[in-house]
């Protein structure tokens, strides 16, 4: 039984679609950046920020907030768009993505945008940072009061540092830590299983003493239930393996690894926005 009502699910789907529209707008304005991953993770980010996360957008330094670490920093357009729609800063600011002097750099930089918990860019480092935060909260006896969420790409699991962090978290039973892996099966050079096969990915995480949940990364109920389930596990850290479609929402972009690291041009963006706005109209009709 999902913890989402139909009305709430439809509301989240509309927000996710609006976030995808903002991603395309921002990438078109920037003329650089990553398309596939941000579109693919919009549903997961929507559920986290608009349903699960304990946070106060108007008070970003609130001491009791949950922490969000973006290890795969190149998908920051979805993080920025989600935060803007949640009220951290104006949606209009998204069009400054990657511009000189902007707070919204091509990889998140905490010095420029203090609402962020970390700066990211080098793949493979984020989980180690999140593990450190989770250990610190455990030492301060805050591990039952706050959760640490770490977003990761499947391609970055090629980095050995991740597995050291995974091993340490399992050893310390960091139940306050939830990792979310974007299992979209692509990376910049091609398909993950051609470059460095990861399967059986779930078995690998279990072997390091993690609780594993696999979900359809575009099913709002499954995503919400996974976050809720992670909050009930007290013997292990949890990893949510979110099976996503890279480029989700724009048929021409979907499942094509070449969209990993390039933005749409004007013609492609117009096509994408038309498709997303049509979908938004359908979601609105369902809500009414």
> What is the pLDDT at residue 28?
98
Q: Which CATH superfamily is domain 6-58+65-287 in?
A: Thiamin diphosphate (ThDP)-binding fold, Pyr/PP domains (3.40.50.970)
Q: Where are the domains of the chain?
A: 6-58+65-287
Residue 288: predicted pLDDT: 62
Residue 140 pLDDT = 96
pLDDT at 57: 98
What's the pLDDT score for residue 45? 98
* Nearest C-alpha neighbor of 213 from the set 178, 261, 172: 178
User: With 0-12 CB in 10 A as exposed, 13-18 as middle and 19+ as buried, what is 131?
Assistant: buried
Low pLDDT (below 50) residues in the chain: none
Task: Give the predicted TM-score (pTM) of the model.
Answer: 0.97
Question: What's the rounded Cα separation, in Å, for the pair 81 and 45?
Answer: 10
d(CA 147, CA 229): 13
Over pLDDT 90: what percentage of the chain?
A: 93
**Residue 281 pLDDT:** 87
């Amino acid at each position: 039984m999902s913890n989402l009502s139909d009305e709430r699910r439809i509301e989240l789907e509309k927000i996710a679609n609006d976030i995808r529209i903002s991603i395309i707008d921002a990438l078109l304005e920037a003329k650089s950046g990553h398309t596939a991953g941000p579109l693919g993770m919009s549903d997961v980010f929507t559920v986290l920020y608009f349903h699960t996360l304990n946070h106060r957008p108007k008070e970003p330094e609130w001491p009791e907030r949950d922490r969000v670490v973006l290890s795969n920093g190149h998908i920051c357009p979805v993080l920025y768009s989600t935060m803007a729609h949640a009220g951290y800063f104006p949606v209009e600011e998204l069009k400054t993505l990657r511009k000189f002097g902007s707070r919204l750099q091509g990889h998140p930089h905490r010095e420029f945008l203090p609402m962020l918990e970390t700066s990211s860019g080098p793949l493979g480092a984020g989980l180690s940072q999140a593990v450190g935060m989770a250990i610190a909260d455990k030492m301060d006896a805050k591990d039952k009061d706050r959760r640490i969420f770490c977003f990761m790409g499947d391609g970055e699991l090629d980095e050995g540092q991740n597995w050291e962090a995974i091993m340490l978290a399992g050893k310390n039973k960091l139940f306050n830590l939830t990792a979310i892996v974007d299992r979209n099966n692509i990376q910049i050079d091609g398909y993950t299983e051609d470059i460095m096969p990861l399967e059986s990915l779930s078995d690998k995480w279990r072997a390091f003493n993690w609780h594993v949940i696999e979900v359809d990364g575009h099913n709002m109920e499954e995503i919400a239930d996974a976050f809720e389930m992670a909050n009930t596990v007290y013997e292990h850290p949890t990893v949510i393996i979110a099976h996503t479609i890279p480029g989700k929402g724009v048929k021409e972009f979907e499942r094509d690894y070449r969209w990993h690291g390039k933005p749409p041009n004007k013609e492609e963006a117009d096509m994408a926005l038309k498709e997303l706005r049509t979908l938004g109209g359908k979601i609105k009709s369902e809500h009414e």
